[in-house]
Amino acid sequence: MTDRPTIAVIGAGAVGGYYGARLAQHGHDVHLLLRSDYAIVRAAGLSVRSVDGDFALPPEQLHVYDDAAAMPPADLVIVTLKSTDNHQFPRLIPPLLKPGTAILTLQNGLGNEDELARLFGPKTVLGGMAFVCINRTAAGHIEHSDYGVIKLGEFTANESSRSPRVEQIAAMLRASNINAEALDDLKAGRWDKQVWNVPFNGLGALLDATTDVLLSTDAGVQQVRALMEEVIRAAAADGVTLPPDVAEKKITATRSMGRYRTSTQIDRQNGRPMEIDAIFARPVEIARRAGVTVPLMELLLFALTTLSAGASSASPFGRGSG
């Protein structure tokens, strides 16, 4: 990458908007592809409230687009689309490519890197997990309410998923006041995050329950732990050995998060598509292929799929079944 790389953010919602804005705030050449908030952000800019410092970017300091074809080729493409929109990759990403472009997906779940690799070549692709709490409070308004870190690595990794490119991007993020770390093993990092996402996003959406509610009873802790253990088994079947205390550590860490709504709970509340494939279906499919039984994940997958099929009406009870 050049000293002043061109950075494109595809799907600049809460997470993409925040990182794009931070990079722009620190002088980077950032180009944001927006959808629903395009007109407002183009007119009024972005306003960020953050535990790492509030700031605003007026429209004249932003490059915003509602059409990927109008964007310049980029050195780094950061993908923060919801994974339910991955079918748009073939339309959105090719206009941004040039020789040497790196594509970094910060999306939830499993399989996003694989999809990008199939379309644009595996060496193009990097993956990262954003362990943060960032919400869009209104059009053009972003709230970053909890500290966090982006852990990123190469999709094609031999000994380690760290590479000069990964280290360079991590350094660039850190220089823009974004906590970032190069990962030794992206695949292990993905499964590690799944250990959290499957129980909390799954049960949270199914029961409209925040993390504190799920952990408020012994029965809830038992269900969270049982789901985590299934994810750990699926990871092992996929060649990833997670630390023996990973489940307990995550449960303890989650208690300190307070009343947290996962993105999947928020999606269901708002009648938006839930990220069922990336967070639930793909890990279940990996477990099935490996002959590992994950009955609770199968039940969650069925339940969320059924709810999703009935979610066209505003209320989950609005389908008029009687």
**Best CA proximity match to 301, nearest among 278, 322, 319, 317:** 278
> Which positions from 158 to 197 touch a second copy by CB under 8 A, shown as an x/- string?
----------------------------------------
Structure tokens at 59: 């429209």
123 near 99, Cβ under 8 Å? no
Position 259 contacts a second copy (CB under 8 A) = yes
List, by residue number, the catalytic residues: 193
| Pairwise CA distance, residues 144 & 171, whole Å | 21
- Binder of a second copy out of 155, 265, 277, 282 (CB under 8 A): 265
Shortest distance in whole angstroms from residue 305 CB to a second copy = 7
Chain Cα centroid distance, residue 305: 20
Structure tokens at 149: 């870190």
**Token pair 């069922």 is at which residue?**
276
Position 226 contacts a second copy (CB under 8 A) = yes
By beta-carbon proximity to a second copy, the closer residue of 15 and 301 is 301
Position 207 contacts a second copy (CB under 8 A) = yes
- Binder of a second copy out of 50, 210, 254, 263 (CB under 8 A): 210
Q: Which residues contact 236 (CB under 8 A, 6 or more apart)?
A: 242, 292
By beta-carbon proximity to a second copy, the closer residue of 42 and 136 is 136
By beta-carbon proximity to a second copy, the closer residue of 132 and 209 is 209
How wide is the angle at C-alpha 194 spanned by C-alphas 190 and 196, nearest 5°?
130
Q: Which stretch binds a second copy (CB under 8 A): 20-28, 73-81, 209-217, 237-245?
A: 209-217
By beta-carbon proximity to a second copy, the closer residue of 3 and 314 is 314
How many Cβ atoms are within 10 Å of 24's Cβ, its own excluded?
Answer: 22
**Alpha-carbon distance values, 261 to 110, 201, 258, 267 (Å):** 21, 8, 10, 10
Position 237 contacts a second copy (CB under 8 A) = no
Structure tokens at 236: 């092992």
| Pairwise CA distance, residues 190 & 275, whole Å | 15
By beta-carbon proximity to a second copy, the closer residue of 20 and 199 is 199
By beta-carbon proximity to a second copy, the closer residue of 147 and 302 is 302
291 near 305, Cβ under 8 Å? no
Shortest distance in whole angstroms from residue 307 CB to a second copy = 6
Q: Which residues contact 73 (CB under 8 A, 6 or more apart)?
A: 6, 95, 96, 97, 98, 101
> Which positions from 281 to 310 touch a second copy by CB under 8 A, shown as an x/- string?
--------------xx-xx-xxx-xxx--x
Question: Terminus-to-terminus CA distance in the chain, angstroms?
Answer: 60
Shortest distance in whole angstroms from residue 295 CB to a second copy = 6
Position 119 contacts a second copy (CB under 8 A) = no
- Binder of a second copy out of 35, 69, 94, 208 (CB under 8 A): 208
How many Cβ atoms are within 10 Å of 147's Cβ, its own excluded?
Answer: 12
Shortest distance in whole angstroms from residue 226 CB to a second copy = 6
Applying CB under 8 A, the residues found at the interface with a second copy are: 203, 206-210, 213-214, 217, 219-220, 222-223, 226, 259, 261, 265-266, 268-269, 295-296, 298-299, 301-303, 305-307, 310, 315-317, 319, 321-322
